[in-house]
Amino acid sequence: MPDNHSTTASPLSGTKDPKSWLAAHAISEVECLVPDLNGVLRGKALPVAKFLKALEDRALYLPSSAFLVSIDGRYSGSIDEGFAYSDPDMRMVPDVSTLCLAPGAGAGKAYVFADAFHMDDRPWMASPRHVLRAVLDLYRQRGWRAVMAPELEFYLTAPNPDPDQPLTAPVGGNGRAETVQHPYDMAALEEFEPVIRRIYDHAAAAGLPLDTLIHESGTAQLEINFLHGDPLALADKVLLFKRLTRQAAHQGGMHATFMAKPIAAQAGSSMHLHMSVVDEAGNTLFAGSDDADTSMFGHFIGGLQRYVPEIMPLFAPNVNSFRRIRPNHSAPANIEWSHDNRSCGLRVPAGGRAARRIENRLPGADANPYLAMAGSLLAGYLGVEEKIARSAEASGNAYKIKSTLPKTMEEALDRFTACGPVRALLGEDFFQSYLRVKSVELDLFQSVVTSWERDHLLLKV
């Protein structure tokens, strides 16, 4: 979306009286969180008096280079060298509707998400929150409302102080580490009961809409489901969940990782996104009164099939992401669709008319939730606008179908750069920033000599 998009600072919608809320919860410090392009939470910690003052005078700032930081902490620079070196401030505007307790950070602390604006109050469109909000505005202009529900997988691991060493499973309640798969095993889930209880307690205190939790197929791999709702609010809560889970695991003497493929011989971790679209009255637009798929639903799937392969950096943002998306590695490597077939990249889950939805199974747990949601919704939107027909429904083992997805981060960035329709809608501010951050990350990775190279080439070539 262009720079002059009509997005404005969030009103005091959720918490009408932040001062009273902060006093009632004995808050002494507020962390203002600004999600960056990698989904890393940046920002400032403020004494509560300073925070309340900032709500009045809007004098809360952050260097604009916060949106130009690579995943390793280095700055990626800017196409405008003068801008990069001057590093002007952005205005941070707290979205007080997101105020919540920070249960894993100690007593008397709260979190709030903040939006970034230029000094003239134009949205800073490299901000992932603005990117998703702008896509949702496209839907509102059509009289539509997007509804989403993320499913997020992650691993609990033993502490890993040496990154040259592979990850190992943590010791569970029985004093032993898992060595084999235990998918959906309740006894295996009980091994991590103290950490799981702490996660749920933290989530309840922070107001996260968690649903069910299961043990997935990897050793000490878990999956949490979120209740469906507004995509922007859920993207915020996914990032909070990651932070709270890492804190809970650390308190239990473990690590929690949301890498897409943290362990070579184990299943990858995904962030499946369930999507539906309703009208202003809340009625589904994906199924007719006869329970049949609407043409809109077919076109929505067609848009995902056409555009997801071209914008994979929004779903697979790191080099490691592409280690997960391989046939027969517990993750789809295709953009086929089918009813209730998990070997397909796009799955229509079982359910009646009101539950008609599409599940995008391609995003990894490492994806920035704002950008993965924005990319999914934008691909579907373009499918409807362009009336793109979906393919014939896949059947059987879709892993055997030839993949049209990029196989490396380098190929994915090249295709992303050339995707004109998405680039036009998301705007150059976002595209240029994202491509620079990811290109620097790719270059840094390609300069590393890996243990595989030392193992197999050192004494043989």
**What CATH number does the domain containing 46 carry?**
3.10.20.70
Q: Across residues 390-399, what is the average pLDDT?
A: 93
The pLDDT score that the predictor gives to residue 81 is 62
The confidence band for 352, taking pLDDT boundaries of 50, 70 and 90, is confident
Lowest mean pLDDT among 56-70, 309-323, 377-391: 56-70
Count of domains for the chain: 2
Report pLDDT for 184: 84
Summarize the confidence of residues 360-379 as an average pLDDT.
Answer: 98
Band (14; pLDDT cuts 50, 70, 90): very low
Instruction: Please list, residue by residue across 78-94, b when 16 or more beta carbons sit within 10 angstroms of its beta carbon and e when fewer do.
Output: beeeeebeeeeebbbbb
Are 372 and 252 contained in the same domain?
yes
Q: Does residue 171 come out as left (phi exceeding 0), alpha (psi in the -120 to 50 range) or beta?
A: beta
| E strand or H helix that includes residue 428 | helix 428-446
Query: Does 453 reside within a domain?
Result: no
Residues 121 and 152 in one domain: no
Q: Distance (Å, rounded) from C-alpha 344 to C-alpha 396? A: 10
The H-assigned helical ranges of 1-143 are 18-24, 48-57, 81-86, 128-141
Distances (CA, A) of 111 to 135, 211, 249, 331, 368: 25, 22, 19, 34, 19
The pairing of strands 337-339 and 346-348 is parallel
Mean pLDDT computed over 335-344: 94
Say what the pTM is: 0.94
Is 248 within the bounds of a domain? yes
Does residue 78 sit in the same domain as residue 206?
no
244 and 105 in contact (C-beta within 8 Å)? no
Residues 98, 149 share a domain: no
Same domain, 195 and 82: no
Same domain, residue pair 278 and 381: yes
Whether residues 188 and 77 share a domain: the answer is no
pLDDT of residue 6: 37
Query: How confident is the model over 70-92, as a mean pLDDT?
Result: 79
Asked if residue 132 is part of any domain, the answer here is no
Residue 411's pLDDT is 97
The CA-atom distances, in angstroms, between 241 and each of 25, 75, 78, 264, 321 are: 21, 27, 31, 25, 20
- Confidence category of residue 328, pLDDT binned at 50, 70, 90: low
Is 452 within the bounds of a domain?
Answer: no
Verify that 266 and 233 share a domain, yes or no. Answer: yes
Q: Is residue 10 part of a domain?
A: no
Tell me: do 183 and 301 sit in the same domain.
yes
Q: Are residues 200 and 343 in the same domain?
A: yes
Q: What is the mean pLDDT of residues 243-261?
A: 96
Sequence-ordered alpha helix ranges (H) in 386-427: 409-417, 420-426
Of all residues in the chain, the percent with pLDDT exceeding 90 is: 82
Which DSSP string corresponds to 319-339? Answer: TTHHHH-STTSSS--S--EEE
Residue 2 has pLDDT above 50, yes or no: no
Band (9; pLDDT cuts 50, 70, 90): very low
- pLDDT band of residue 206 (cuts 50, 70, 90) is very high
185 domain-assigned:
yes
Look at residues 93, 126, 159 and tell me which one is the last residue of a structural domain: 126
**Secondary structure (3-state) at 4:** coil
Does residue 401 sit in the same domain as residue 354?
yes
Q: Mean pLDDT, to the nearest integer, of 250-265?
A: 95
- Does residue 107 surpass a pLDDT of 90? no
Residue 434 lies in a domain: no
Rounded Cα gap, residues 353 and 351, in angstroms: 7
Q: How many C-alpha atoms does 264 have within 13 Å on its Cβ side?
A: 4
DSSP state of 398: G
How much of the chain is helix, strand and coil, in % rounded to 5? 40, 20, 40
Q: Residue 322 is part of a domain; what is its CATH number?
A: 3.30.590.10
Q: How far apart are CA 175 and CA 347, in angstroms?
A: 39
Higher pLDDT, residue 86 or 198: 198
Average pLDDT of the residues in 59-77 = 90
Q: Please name the residue that has the structure tokens 């580490």.
A: 177
Residues 28 and 64 in one domain: yes
Residue 31's domain comprises 18-126
Residue 13 has pLDDT above 50, yes or no: no
Radius of gyration of the chain (CA): 22
Predicted pLDDT of residue 246: 97
Work out the average pLDDT over 68-83.
79
Q: What are phi and psi of 370, to 5 degrees?
A: -65, -45
Residue 29 lies in a domain: yes
